Structure formats: C-alpha cells, structure tokens
Amino acid sequence: MSFDGALVRKDFPIFERFIDGAPIVYLDSANTSQKPRQVIDAMTSFMQNSYAPINRSAYRLAGEATDAFEAARSKVARFINARSADEVIFTKNTTESLNLLAYSWGRANLNAGDVVVLTHLEHHANIVPWHMLQAERGIVLRWVPLTADGQLDLTDLTALLTDAKVFSFTAMSNVLGTITPVQQLCDAAHAAGAIAIVDGCQYVPHNVTDVQAWGADFLAFSSHKMCGPSGIGVLWGREQLLDAMPPFLGGGNMIADVRLDGFTTAPLPAKFEAGTPAIIETIGLGAAVDYLSNLGMANVREHEMKLGSYAIRTLTERYGNDISIHGPTDIASRGATLSFAFAGIHPHDLSQVLDQRNVCVRAGHHCAKPLMRLLGVSATARASFYIYNDESDADVLVDALAGASDIFGF
Amino acid sequence: MPGLDDLYREIILDHYRSPRNRGELAPPAVRAEGHNPLCGDEIQVYLDVVDGVVNDIKITGSGCSISLSSASMMSQAVKGKKIADVKALVNRFRSMMGLDIADAESDTDLVSIEDDAEVDVPEVKLGDLEALQGVVKFPVRIKCATLAWITLTQAMAEVPTA
C-alpha cells in the first residue's frame, strides 16, 4: 500500500521552514535524509529522562539506558532480518563499517596476491579501504564492469571471481540508482569460495532488507540516510565470521579481561564496540527504524518507484534530448536517485539555479570518481527522492530547470 | 538570496561560452594542475615565463561557468605581465573574494605568496575580473572562482629561478 508523501512530510519539522518565503524542496536524500519528529523526540526524551552510561554501572538509571540502547540493537536486527542482535555491530557509519572489515577481516585473511573483487559502481568507501590493503599487503583488485545502462555486466562474473577471497559490492548505486541482484551476487561469491560484503548504504533506507534471504556475509549501512541521526551506523555480519575476526579498536567495553601481559576480548557485539558509543544517536536510530517500519519498507519502495517513474517521465517529456538521465531506464532496476546531465550545463551551475527555487540537489562526483570517469564526466547533478517527497517536488524540479536553460541555453 | 544576475553577469557567460587561451604549451613552459575536491573540477594551467614576464599562458580542464570564466579572464589579465605584477593581481583577486591577504601564509586553500609585503594592492586594476565580484555573495562558489588562481600560483612556483 502506497502512502502520501505530503502527509509524511508533516512529520518532518524542517519542512515547516521557509527560505525566501518558499518551502524547501529537498531532493538530496541520497546524500543524507531529513529527520522526523519521532526521532528528534526520542533523542530529546532520552537525554531529558534516561541518559546514563551503558554496560558499566549498577544503578537503575544506567540499567534503563542500557536496556534502551540494546532495544535499538534488537530493532535494527529485526529490520534487516538478522538471526541475532549479537550480529549487529554499531559503528560510526557505512564508511567505518567497511574500513572495519578491510582492517580486521582483511588483515587476518588476505595476503599478497589474494583477490578482492569490487564493481565499477562503488562509492569511495568501498574502494579506498581495499586500496589501502593493496598498498600494505599486495592484494589484487578486480572490477566487475557495467553495461551501457549502468547495470552490472555479469557476463564474466565467474572468471572475475575465480580464486577470489572477497566480493564486496553495493546493493544500490549512489550515483546511478542501480539496484544490483544481491542474492545472485552472494551466491556467485560463495560458489567461488569468497565472502560476500554488501554496501547497503543506499539500499537499506529504501527497500526491504533480508540478510538471510540474500545469503550475505556482511552488510554495512548508515543511520543518517534512513531518517536517523548522523554519527551512527551498522555493520551486520554472520556470527561465525565475526567471532573468528580479530578486534578492530581496542579499549573499554570490548574486553573480557585485561592483565599486564595482554587481554581477552568480550563476546559479540561488544568485541567490536570499544569505548563509549554514540548512545543518544543509537536511540535515534532505533526510533528511525520504528518510523520506517510503521510506514513499511515495501510501501516505501512502492512510493519511490511511483515517484521515480513520474520524475523520469516528466523530465523527459518536458526536455526531450536536452536531458539525459544516467543509469537504468526501468524503475524495477533502480531507485529514485536520478543523476542527470542537462543541456550541457555544468552541474554546479544547475544546482545554483535550482537553489533559487529552494530545490536542493547534489552536484559533484558523489564520492565515486572511478564511475565518473567511466561516464566521461567530472560531475553530475543528482536529484534523489524519499518518503517525504511527492509529485509536486518533481514538478518544481522540472520547472526550475527551465531557469537554467534561460541563463545558459546556448 | 541575492539574484542570479549578480552571479551570472553577461561577461562571465561570454568567457564561459568562448574561453580565451584554451590549450596546452610544450616545455619549457611549466604545467600545474588544480582540483576542486568538492565538485570534481580539474584545471591545468600552462605558463611560459621569459625574463620574468608571462610570455604565454594556456588553460585546459573542465569546470562550471564560474571556474572556467575566472580562468579565461585570468589568462587574459596576466598575459604579458611581469611575475611581480601577476602576484599583485593574485592578491587583489584574493582580496575581492574576501580572502584575507595577511592570511595567505596560513591559508591552505591558496599557496602562500612570498613577497606579500611588497605588494601595493589598491594599485592593481582588475578590469573584466571585477565581474566576478558577485561571487562573494554566493560563498559556496568562491572555491570555483579561485581554482584557476590557486593553480596559477602553483605554476609560478614551478618556474625555474634564473
């Protein structure tokens, strides 16, 4: 069942703000999402009524705070259908989750000549940690290429995965919106004897996520793109793999015992959570998961398919050959994240003109410079839709683009 | 918000549509490359200095209207000028962009200019470059306008001293 974006928008206080007398048309949710009152209130209430240290004090208030923190972990586990909440590790964000994997799993398991397979869709966060391991260990990187419409070209996947130890890939491109066949990719990784790491940063906020149905080994995602606060993210991993990994950061909370001659690690998930975590933000993430669960992730996907189709159709009808939307044309293969080129106008200039109408889009390389080079551009403009957008936002975008062609149309 | 007319002046659009001094120069001309990590823009400045005078300058790269028009106007403004005068112009431009010249040494955005103290800023004429004044009202775009100038400063540092 779909829902009305204009009604959802009422839950987000930022949309009560007017800039230059007009409302905000926020089309940059692939960058970061806005926050509903439910999340803001949960964080405020926790600070006002329940704030205390977690996992280390005997008084009742600390017990309450610990329970609230762990309840958020359970909510996240249910949200992605993890077998157990112990498989959910809280990190800073997707970037830290992927770095944790490269650092901990990578250093324990990868040596010179070992193969890690990535794709041409990846964000820098799923490239640079492996580059760092390449420089340190001499691992070999292979890349899954793309088809002309920005989907993974799986023709030679079996050959690319031969002898690979890791296949790490995005479930949804932050530039092209491409949704990848995650289950198929996990199966292919396992058939080759590799582990499957899923970058779910763009996918998880917009779709039903089921790590068990995928058969994935690890999943990384961020709170701030799914209505939660910034500063908190998730690494989910299969218990057996997490248990076998060495710890990442050392310090308080992650130990069972410390002596002068060494330490032993705490069981999962504390083993990977050194130091006082982002407690308030974790409460906020739990509230965001509740908020999205109430909407229903299948409904979120349906809403965005309708909205994405509408935006693609109206942009194309109005501007024809002057607009070129990168990535898959079929909404079934993509999310409502639309990178586009318009009338040869530089994305930075487009964004400037759109800002006159309070239309917020991203202009830049989207932290995916290898993909930009493949597209033959230095930057794109990107309009990304979420639960609080509706067709009127797409209409304003379409109208506002005319202003750019008035100034630069040559 | 200030109107876009303040930003996209006709002379800026003219330099964007028809950039001057596009191309490359062979050695002994020096080459410097600048990046705007924010938006992915890249610019290359080729600088041929003979006897302390800019004999020729060429520019390649991609960017938005502000960065490319700034580069084009800059190339016109510095061609035929003595290096000391070019440095004065760089400082004058910095100043127009609201960047403090006194901070040049500590500013990581712009390579420091050695002989700041000798530069008499108000004497330098900006000419067409005055059209970029409006950029200051759009702080996010200052980095676009200054990219070519940072790269020019890097190129000048590459010029072998006689």
DSSP string, A75-140: HHHHHTT-S-GGGEEEESSHHHHHHHIIIIIHHHH--TT-EEEEETT--GGGTHHHHHHHHHH--E
pLDDT band at B101 (very low <50, low <70, confident <90, very high): low
Average pLDDT, chain A: 96
Task: Indicate the number of domains in chain B.
Answer: 1
Q: Is the pLDDT of residue B47 over 50?
A: yes
CA-nearest of A107, A16, A111, A33 to A336 is A33
State pLDDT tens for residues A399-408.
999 989 888 8
> What Cα–Cα distance (Å) separates residue A94 from each residue in A21, A218, A224?
36, 12, 10
User: What part of A 202-261 touches B (C-beta under 8 Å)?
Assistant: none
Inter-chain touch A378–B138, beta carbons under 8 Å: no
pLDDT at A330 over 60: yes
* A178–chain B nearest CA distance, Å: 22
Question: Can you give the pLDDT at residue B109?
Answer: 45
CA distance B76 to chain A (A): 23
Of B4, B42, B144, nearest to A378 by CB-CB distance is B42
Q: Is the CB of B64 less than 8 angstroms away from the CB of A372?
A: no
B1 — pLDDT class (breaks 50, 70, 90): low
Contact A80, A91 (CB under 8 A): no
Preceding omega of A328 cis (within 30 degrees of 0): no
How many CB atoms sit inside 10 A of residue A322's CB? 16
pLDDT over 70, % of chain A: 100
A334-362: average pLDDT? 95
| Backbone φ/ψ region at A324: left (φ over 0), alpha (ψ -120 to 50), beta | beta
**Sequence-ordered list of residues with C-beta below 8 angstroms from that of A155, at least 6 positions apart, any chain:** none
Q: Work out the burial of residue B6: count CB atoms within 10 Å of its CB; fewer than 13 is exposed, 13-18 middle, 19 or more buried.
A: middle
Whether the per-residue pLDDT at B63 is higher than 50: the answer is yes
Q: State residue B116's pLDDT score.
A: 46
Alpha-carbon gap: A408 to the closest alpha carbon of chain B (Å): 8
CATH number assigned to the domain comprising residue B85: 3.90.1010.10
Q: Is B38 on the interface with A (CB under 8 A)?
A: yes
**Strand ranges, E, within chain B:** 30-36, 41-50, 53-62
Q: Give phi and psi for B161, each to the nearest 5.
A: -80, 135
Q: CB distance from A20 to chain B under 8 Å? A: yes
Distance CA A205, CA B101 (A): 46
Q: Do B13 and A407 touch (CB under 8 A)?
A: yes
Whose tokens are 């690690």? That residue is: A265
Mean pLDDT across A185-194: 98
pLDDT at A27: 98
> Touching check for B143 and chain A: CB below 8 Å?
no
What are B6-35's pLDDT values in tens digits? 889 889 999 999 999 999 999 999 999 999
CA of A363 vs chain B CAs: smallest distance (Å): 7
> Residue A339: which H helix or E strand, with range?
strand A337-342
Residue A405 contacts B, CB cutoff 8 Å: no
Nearest CA of chain A to the CA of B104: how many Å?
27
| Spatial distance between the Cα atoms of A288 and B10, rounded to a whole number of angstroms | 48
Q: B62 to chain A: which residues are within 8 Å by CB?
A: 378
Tell me the ipTM for this assembly. 0.80
pLDDT surpasses 60 at B102 = no
Q: How far apart are CA A153 and CA A145, in angstroms?
A: 5
- Name the pLDDT band for A410 (thresholds 50, 70, 90): low
Q: Highest mean pLDDT range out of A76-90, A362-376, B134-148?
A: A76-90
In this predicted structure, what is the pLDDT of residue B128? 85
B4 → closest Cβ in A19, A353, A364: A353
Higher pLDDT, A31 or B128: A31
Residue type (1 letter), A31: N
Q: Answer yes or no: do A348 and B39 touch at CB < 8 A.
A: yes
pLDDT value of position B40: 74
Of A372, A403, A408, the CB nearest to B40: A372
Segment A319-333 shows an average pLDDT of: 95
Instruction: Kindly determine whether residue B141 and residue A348, on different chains, have CB atoms separated by under 8 Å.
Output: yes
Q: Is the pLDDT of residue B105 over 50?
A: no
Residue B62 one-letter amino acid: S
Query: Which residue has better confidence, B122 or B78?
Result: B78
Which amino acid is present at A384? S
What pLDDT is recorded for position B162? 60
DSSP code, position A173 = -
Instruction: Give residue-wise pLDDT tens across range A102-150.
Output: 999 999 999 999 999 999 999 999 999 999 999 999 999 999 999 999 9
Confidence of residue B108 (pLDDT cuts 50, 70, 90): very low
The boundaries of the domain holding residue B59 are 4-158
Tell me the C-alpha distance between A257 and A385, whole Å: 48
The half-sphere exposure of B81 on its side-chain side, counting CA atoms within 13 A, is 20
Q: How many angstroms away from the CA of A350 is the closest CA of chain B?
A: 9
What are the tokens at A124? 């820098």
Q: Minimal Cα distance from B16: which residue of A? A: A408
On the 0-12 / 13-18 / 19+ scale of CB atoms within 10 A, A29 is buried
Look at the block and give the residue holding tokens 């391991």: A133
Kindly report, residue by residue over A230-278, the tens digit of the pLDDT: 999 999 999 999 999 999 999 999 999 999 999 999 999 999 999 999 9
In three-state secondary structure terms, B25 is coil
Residue B113 has pLDDT above 70, yes or no: no
Q: What is the pLDDT of residue A409?
A: 76
Six token digits for residue A22:
């007009």
Angstrom distance (rounded) from CA A359 to CA A28 = 9
* pLDDT tens digits along A152-163: 999 999 999 999
Interface touch A352/B62, C-beta < 8 Å: no
DSSP-based helix, strand, coil % in chain A, nearest 5: 45, 20, 35
- Does residue A232 contact residue A285 with C-beta atoms inside 8 Å? yes
Determine the Cα–Cα distance for residues B79 and B55; give it in Å rounded to an integer.
Answer: 6
Q: Name the residue with higher pLDDT: B63 or A112.
A: A112
Predicted pLDDT at B50:
94
Q: Which of residues 351-380 of A touch B (CB under 8 A)?
A: 352-353, 355-356, 363-365, 369, 372, 378-379
Sheet holding B53-62, edge to edge: B30-36, B41-50, B53-62
Report yes or no: A346 at the B interface, CB cutoff 8 Å.
Answer: yes
DSSP label of A46:
I
Three-state DSSP class for residue A183: helix
Q: Active-site residues of A: which are they? A: 367
Amino acid at A363: A
Is A348 in contact with B66 (Cβ distance < 8 A)? yes
Tell me the DSSP string of A158-213: HHHHTTEEEEEEESB-TTT-BBP-HHHHHHHHHHTT-EEEEE-TTTTTTS---HHH
pLDDT band at B115 (very low <50, low <70, confident <90, very high): very low
Provide the percentage of residues in chain B whose pLDDT is more than 90: 57
Q: Which of B7, B62, B138 sits opposite A378 (nearest CB)?
A: B62
Q: How confident is the model over A77-106, as a mean pLDDT?
A: 98
- Structural domains of chain A sorted by starting position, each given as residue range(s) with its CATH number in brackets: 5-31+297-408 (3.90.1150.10), 40-294 (3.40.640.10)
- Do A369 and B40 make contact, defined as CB atoms within 8 angstroms? yes
